[in-house]
Amino acid sequence: MKTYDAIVIGAGHNGLAAAVNLASRGWSVAVIEAKQEAGGAVKTGELTVTGFRHDFAAMNLSMFAGSAFHGALAGDLARHGLGFVPAEHCFASIFRDQTWLGVSKDLDVTAGRIAALSQRDAAAWKTMFAEFGGDAPHIFGLLGSPMPSFAAAKVVWKAWREKGTGWLYDTVRMLLASPRDFLDARFENEKVKTMMAAWGLHLDFSPDTAGGALFPYLESMANQAFGMVIGKGGADTIIRSMTGLLAERGGELVTGNAVLRIDQENGRASGVTLANGEQFSARKAVIANAHPQLVFGKLLKPDQNRAEFDRKLAKFRAGPGTMMVHLALDGLPDWTAGEELKRFAYVHLAPDLAMMAKTYAEAAGGLMPAEPALVVGQPTALDPSRAPEGKHVLWVQVRVLPAEIRGDAAGEIAARSWGEAKEAYADRVIRLIETYAPGLSGKILGRSVYSPEDLEAENPNLIGGDNLSGSHHLDQNFLFRPVPGYSRYRTPVEGLYLCGASTWPGAGTGAGSGHMLSTMLAGKRR
Residue 526 has pLDDT above 70, yes or no: no
Question: Is 97 within a domain?
Answer: no
Q: Which residues pair with 29 in a beta bridge?
A: 6
Whether residue 348 lies inside any domain: the answer is: yes
Average confidence score pLDDT of the chain: 97
- Encoded amino acid at 66, one letter: G
Question: Does residue 479 surpass a pLDDT of 50?
Answer: yes
Q: State pLDDT tens for residues 312-353.
A: 999 999 999 999 999 999 999 999 999 999 999 999 999 999
HSE of 81 in the Cβ direction (CA atoms, 13 Å)?
14
Is the residue at 91 inside a domain?
no
Percent of the chain scoring above 70 in pLDDT: 99
**Cβ pair 348, 202 in contact under 8 A:** no
The answer to whether the CB of 217 falls within 8 A of the CB of 174 is yes
> Quick one: 222 and 147 in the same domain?
yes
252: pLDDT strictly greater than 70: yes
Q: Looking at the structure, do residues 321 and 294 belong to the same domain, yes or no?
A: no
Cβ pair 253, 11 in contact under 8 A: yes
Instruction: Give the closest residue to 112 by CA, choosing from 97, 125, 127, 98.
Output: 125
DSSP strand pairing (444-450 vs 392-401):
unpaired
Which amino acid, residue 27?
Answer: W
pLDDT tens for each residue of 64-122 = 999 999 999 999 999 999 999 999 999 999 999 999 999 999 999 999 999 999 999 99
429 in the same domain as 335 = yes
Same domain, 454 and 336: yes
Q: Residue 524: its pLDDT value, please?
A: 60
Phi and psi (nearest 5°) for 244? -65, -45
Residue 515 near residue 67, CB atoms below 8 Å: yes
Answer yes or no: is 88 within a domain. Answer: no
Identify whether residues 343 and 307 lie together within a single domain.
no
Strands 373-377 and 346-349: antiparallel
Note if the bond before 302 is cis, omega within 30 degrees. no
Pairing of strands 496-499, 279-289: parallel
Which CATH number fits the domain that encloses residue 373?
Answer: 3.90.660
- Statement: residue 306 has pLDDT above 90: yes
Same domain, 378 and 450: yes
Q: Is 265 helix (H, G, I), strand (E, B) or coil?
A: strand
Q: Where are the alpha helices (DSSP H) in 249-301?
A: 292-294
| Residue 525's pLDDT band (cuts 50, 70, 90) | very low
- Crossing angle, helix 165-176 and helix 119-143, to 10 degrees? 90
Total number of domains constituting the chain: 3
Of 206, 226, 246, the one marking the end of a domain is 226
CA distance 490 to 503: 10
Tell me the pairing of strands 346-349 and 89-94: parallel
Q: What are phi and psi of 2, to 5 degrees?
A: -90, 140
Alpha helices in 406-485 (DSSP H): 418-436, 452-458
Range of the domain at 452: 317-458
327 and 444 fall within a common domain:
yes
208, 226, 244 - which closes a domain: 226
Asked whether residue 389 falls in the same domain as residue 475, the answer is no
Examine the domain organization and report whether 312 and 342 are in the same domain. Answer: no
Q: How far apart are CA 499 and CA 477, in angstroms?
A: 14
Query: Rounded CA gap, 271 and 260, in Å?
Result: 11
Instruction: Please indicate, yes or no, if residue 104 is contained in any of the structural domains.
Output: no
Helix (H, G, I), strand (E, B) or coil at 98: coil
53-63 as b/e: b if 16+ CB within 10 A = bbbbbbbbbbb
The CATH code of the domain that includes 14 is 3.50.50.60
Same domain, 143 and 57: no
> Of 432, 458, 484, which one is at a domain's C-terminal end?
458
Question: pTM score > 0.85 for this model?
Answer: yes
Q: Is 126 found in the same domain as 222?
A: yes
271 and 363 inside one domain: no
Specify the length of the chain in residues: 526
Residue 284: its H or E element = strand 279-289
